[in-house]
Amino acid sequence: MSKTTRRTFDAAFKLQVVKMIREQGLSVGQVCRDMNLVDSAVRRWVAQYDEEQAGGSGIGRPLTPEQQRIRQLEAELRQAKSDNELLKKVSAFFARELK
């Protein structure tokens, strides 16, 4: 019994595969056969891309650079809000100590 290793693909590769399907009109099956990919994975990438193009965030790691940037900015915003809440609590604590 041979053990196969799980392959990983970066966002640029996934985006290239999806564009072959969406822009060049190739079928999912044909692209999978030509590139030795699994049908279900490619269909997930296509669904992710379609969701991102519709303005949603999709599921999983973003494919388009715009969605990657949006996710990064959302993470930075969450961190800034968390830091701000902490600063409010600390300033309230020290304000009580000064009275």
Q: How far apart are CA 73 and CA 79, in angstroms?
A: 10
The residue range of the domain holding 53 is: 11-98
Predicted pLDDT at 77? 94
Q: How far apart are CA 72 and CA 78, in angstroms?
A: 10
Reduce the secondary structure of the chain to three states and give it as a string: CCCCCCCCCCHHHHHHHHHHHHCCCCCHHHHHHHHCCCHHHHHHHHHHHHHHHCCCCCCCCCCCHHHHHHHHHHHHHHHHHHHHHHHHHHHHHHHHHHC
Is 2 inside any structural domain? no
CATH classification at residue 21: 1.10.10
Is 87 inside any structural domain? yes
Q: Total domain count for the chain?
A: 1
Predicted pLDDT at 99? 66
Q: How far apart are CA 66 and CA 48, in angstroms?
A: 13
**pLDDT single digits (tens) 12-68:** 899 899 989 988 888 999 999 999 998 998 999 998 888 888 877 666 777 778 888
Predicted pLDDT at 67? 80
Is 43 inside any structural domain? yes
